[in-house]
Amino acid sequence: MFRSSRGSRETLVAGALAIAAWSLPSLAVAGEPNVERGKVIYRKCIHCHTIAPNGKHRIGPNLFGIFGRKAGSLASFDYSEAWKRADFIWTERTLDRYLIAPRKMIPYNRMPFDGISLRQDRADLIAYLKKVTRKK
Ligand code: HEC
């Protein structure tokens, strides 16, 4: 039944590969960042961060427009002292470094999150965030 058309077979194969990559992350080949996968990984952040324009702050600040913004710089969010002292701009690179180990890069920051150890997971998440937080 799945062989009725070429398209559905390809979809099936792509789906199986995606599931394989997802369930065996340590074996996933580092490839192009995958925005769709990044969206799934963003579920780790969704409890504390919104990403829509003018989104509310939750436990953490709204992340819309994050790339190119100075760290800890939203006047409407009450950052910890650790962030108020931070002096760098959010780029793919700095966010990648941060997400490896948030409390290593910014000691005493209040973000209760241990980090994302897999490079591909971080790359996918960053690709997703770049897409959805970009100012038009
Ligand atoms: C349990 C809540 C929580 C989770 C989960 C969480 N964060 Fe945060 N995040 C915070 C808090 C709180 C702060 C501000 C920390 C402070 O003031 O010390 C923060 C700060 C940040 C900042 C700095 C924002 C700025 O304006 O400079 C970024 C970027 C960020 N988080 C990204 C993420 C990403 C990406 C994820 C998911 C992988 C995530 N966070 C998961 C609570 C969370």
Give the model confidence (pLDDT) of 61-106 as tens digits: 999 999 999 999 999 999 999 999 999 999 999 999 999 999 999 9
Ligand 1 centroid to 15 CA: how many Å?
A: 31
The predicted model gives 14-27 an average pLDDT of 50
CA distance 99 to 130: 15
For residues 99 and 93, the answer to whether their CB atoms sit within 8 Å is no
Whole-number pLDDT of residue 9: 59
Query: Which residue's alpha carbon is at the smallest distance from atom 1 of ligand 1?
Result: 112
C-alpha 9/C-alpha 3 separation (Å) is 6
- C-alpha distance from residue 23 to each of 18, 73, 92, 131 (Å): 9, 37, 25, 25
Whether the predicted pLDDT of 2 surpasses 70: no
Mean of the pLDDT values across residues 43-72? 97
Q: State mean pLDDT over 108-129.
A: 95
What tokens were used for 129?
Answer: 């965030």
Neighbours of 65 (CB within 10 A): 14
Instruction: Kindly give the distance from the C-alpha atom of residue 17 to the centroid of ligand 1, in angstroms, as a whole number.
Output: 31
